[in-house]
């Protein structure tokens, strides 16, 4: 099982505890989480299902490369962090 | 007197009437960015449009005057055609995704129905008090929409919605930048009504093109609905023939630039503006905040300054930042976080607050 963790800043707006999922890609992992928590989807993805412009997903410490379709693979035991794309300031 | 809702960069604040004016009483969503609030006079519901930045735009509704709020649906665009990069008139890539709720109004032709204007330019309609939304296809897929461009932002947006008091199926919306569009059949067909305006920031061929007009704010007189007032990027325009023609008013006080306009719902000849040095600076002329008022349909303008800061003041008032209450009270809020109110039609102004975050919108509870 992979684990999906959301930034604490998001928990102020919508409940999003860490969740264990059985998935092969980032898209599948998030889809499982959103299926039981549909309001969360719009906070992470835009109207077209792409990662919001100022959001970032890390898989085992590496940023994903496919922000449009979220096709980046994950492994059993992977840790996904859904974060704000902060760049200082 | 009526409660006032002030939408700011850091929360929605409620000002309540006092013996001499208004005072801030409480805040909602404190710390969050509010693009606007709307009060539906039919059922008393309050709507708040939040812009969470990283997390996107969200809408909330309160059915108990702000005591509790519930998140409702956000207008969302349908799937974008695969493999086709869409651009706006200026060639910037345009993604079909709501980046701002920029106008919200009751759709008076059906109970519980709402109109919502967004950036990047889509108009949405809800039949169920915001529980769900549908894109108004006829306007989004109108071929002229590809001639719209961004005003102060990357993409065009619908910021003004005028539901016609003669027939609620007739609705005019204004676009920055894309002119004015009107439907007479509740959104099924649309016609540009900005022909005859003048845009001084485009090549000569486009000066009078309806799609090139950067309308900053559009209002319609309730008692005389053939009269519309516009604060435009390069001037003030009035139409007294139901938008068949427009007249530009060149002598309108210290400046013709600004964002908001308020019309007296009982008198089509009376309207208020807040002028600023035009687009290259966007600050009050000479650091002096004034309101301009015409009471003769634009033939002359009073410059009203009693009670307003007159030195080293750099307040800018955005298009939704100026409102008139049903009892005639006026109020505006600025980027400096000042809010002023007048109980005598603008002759005298009193401070409501000097310490709010930047103000984006002011409205009154009906």
pLDDT tens for chain B, 366 residues: list them: 999 999 999 999 999 999 989 999 999 999 999 999 999 999 999 999 999 999 999 999 999 999 999 999 999 999 998 877 888 888 888 999 999 999 999 999 999 999 999 999 999 999 999 999 999 999 999 999 999 988 878 899 999 999 999 999 999 999 999 999 999 999 999 999 998 899 999 999 999 999 999 999 999 999 999 999 999 999 999 999 999 999 999 888 888 889 999 999 999 999 999 998 877 788 888 899 999 999 999 999 999 999 999 999 999 999 999 999 999 999 999 999 999 999 999 999 999 999 999 999 999 998
The DSSP output letter for B298 is T
CB < 8 Å to A39, chain B: 71
Question: B195: which residues sit within 8 A by CB, 6+ positions away?
Answer: B208, B209, B210
The DSSP output letter for B45 is -
What phi and psi values does residue B206 have, to the nearest 5 degrees? -105, 0
Tens digit of pLDDT for each residue in A9-66? 999 999 999 999 999 999 999 999 999 999 999 999 999 999 999 999 999 999 999 9
For tokens 């519901």, the residue is: B45
For an interface test with B, which of A42, A55, A67 has the most B Cβ atoms less than 10 Å from its Cβ? A42
Domain annotation covers residue A89: no
Asked whether the CA dihedral A39, A43, A47, A48 is positive or negative, the reply is: negative
CB < 8 Å to B116, chain A: none
C-alpha B17: how far from chain center: 24
Task: Inform me whether the pLDDT recorded for A88 exceeds 70.
Answer: no
CB < 8 Å to B122, chain A: none
pLDDT of residue B195: 85
Residue B56 touches partner A, C-beta closer than 8 Å: yes
Q: Which of A75, A83, A82, A81 is nearest to A2 (CA)?
A: A75
Structure tokens at B18: 């006092």
Domain annotation covers residue A61: yes
Element (H, E) at A26: helix A26-36
Indicate which CATH number applies to the domain containing A64.
Answer: 3.10.20.30
Q: Which of A66, A72, A56 is nearest to A9 (CA)?
A: A56
Shortest CA distance from B51: residue in chain A: A43
Cα separation, B205 vs B207, whole angstroms: 6
Question: A41: which residues sit within 8 A by CB, 6+ positions away?
Answer: A30, A34
Residue B54 touches partner A, C-beta closer than 8 Å: yes
Domain annotation covers residue A57: yes
pLDDT of residue A81: 97
Q: Which of B224, B124, B242, B240 is nearest to B180 (CA)?
A: B242
Domain annotation covers residue A76: yes
For tokens 């439907």, the residue is: B183
Q: Which domain holds residue A58?
A: 2-84
pLDDT of residue B83: 79
Shortest CA distance from B31: residue in chain A: A12
Task: Inform me whether the pLDDT recorded for A89 exceeds 60.
Answer: no
The partner residue sitting opposite A52, judged by closest CB among B54, B71, B77, is: B54
pLDDT of residue B283: 87
Domain annotation covers residue A16: yes
Q: Which of B153, B144, B269 is nearest to B194 (CA)?
A: B144
Would you tell me how many other CB atoms lie within 10 Å of the CB of residue B186? 18
3-state secondary structure of B143: helix
Report residue A87's pLDDT band, with 50, 70 and 90 as the boundaries. Answer: low
**ipTM value:** 0.90
> Domain count of chain A?
1
Under an 8 A CB cutoff, do A39 and B52 touch? no
The partner residue sitting opposite A48, judged by closest CB among B52, B53, B97, is: B97
- pTM of full prediction above 0.80: yes
The DSSP output letter for B112 is T
> How far is residue B196 from each of residues A67, B192, B201, B213, B316, measured CA to CA in Å?
44, 11, 15, 10, 28
Domain annotation covers residue A34: yes
> How far is residue B167 from each of residues B124, B164, B170, B248, measured CA to CA in Å?
19, 5, 6, 27
**Pairs across A and B, CB distance < 8 A:** 39
């Amino acid at each position: 099982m992979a684990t999906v963790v959301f930034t604490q800043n998001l928990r102020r707006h919508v409940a999003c505890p860490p969740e264990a999922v059985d998935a092969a890609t980032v898209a599948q992992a998030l889809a499982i989480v959103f299926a039981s928590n549909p309001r969360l989807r719009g906070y992470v993805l835009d109207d077209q299902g792409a990662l919001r412009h100022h959001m970032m997903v890390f898989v085992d410490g590496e940023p994903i490369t496919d922000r449009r379709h979220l096709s980046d693979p994950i492994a059993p035991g992977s840790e996904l962090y859904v974060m704000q794309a902060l760049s200082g300031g | 007197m009526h409660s006032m809702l002030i939408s700011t960069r850091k929360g929605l604040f409620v000002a309540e009437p006092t013996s001499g004016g208004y005072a801030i009483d409480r805040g909602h969503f404190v710390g969050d960015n509010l693009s606007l609030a709307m009060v539906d006079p039919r059922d008393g519901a309050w709507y708040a449009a939040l812009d969470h930045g990283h997390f996107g735009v969200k809408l909330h509704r309160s059915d108990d005057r702000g005591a509790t709020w519930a998140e409702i649906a956000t207008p969302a665009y349908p799937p974008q055609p695969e493999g086709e990069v869409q651009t706006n008139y200026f060639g910037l890539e345009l993604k079909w995704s709501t980046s701002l709720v920029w106008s919200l109004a009751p759709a008076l032709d059906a109970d519980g129905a709402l109109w919502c204007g967004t950036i990047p330019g889509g108009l949405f309609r809800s039949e169920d008090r915001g529980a769900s939304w549908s894109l108004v296809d006829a306007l989004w897929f109108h071929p002229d929409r590809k001639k719209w461009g961004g005003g102060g932002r990357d993409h065009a947006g619908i910021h003004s919605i005028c539901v016609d008091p003669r027939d609620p199926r007739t609705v005019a919306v204004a676009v920055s930048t894309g002119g004015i569009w009107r439907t007479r059949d509740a959104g099924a067909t649309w016609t540009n009504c900005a022909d005859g305006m003048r845009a001084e920031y485009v090549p000569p061929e486009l000066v009078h093109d309806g799609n090139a007009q950067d309308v900053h704010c559009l209002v319609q007189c309730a008692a005389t609905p053939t009269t519309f007032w516009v604060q435009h990027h390069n001037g003030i325009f009035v139409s007294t023939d139901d938008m068949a023609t427009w007249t530009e008013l060149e002598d309108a006080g210290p400046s013709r630039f600004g964002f908001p306009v308020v019309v007296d719902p009982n008198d089509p000849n009376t309207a208020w503006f807040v002028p600023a040095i035009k687009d290259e600076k966007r600050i009050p002329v000479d650091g002096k905040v004034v309101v301009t008022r015409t009471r003769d349909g634009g033939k002359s303008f009073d410059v009203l300054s009693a009670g307003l800061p007159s030195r080293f003041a750099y307040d800018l008032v955005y298009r939704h930042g100026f409102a008139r209450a049903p009892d005639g009270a006026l109020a505006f809020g600025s980027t400096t976080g000042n809010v002023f109110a007048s109980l005598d039609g603008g002759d005298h102004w009193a401070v409501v607050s000097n310490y709010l975050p930047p103000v984006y919108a002011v409205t009154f509870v009906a």
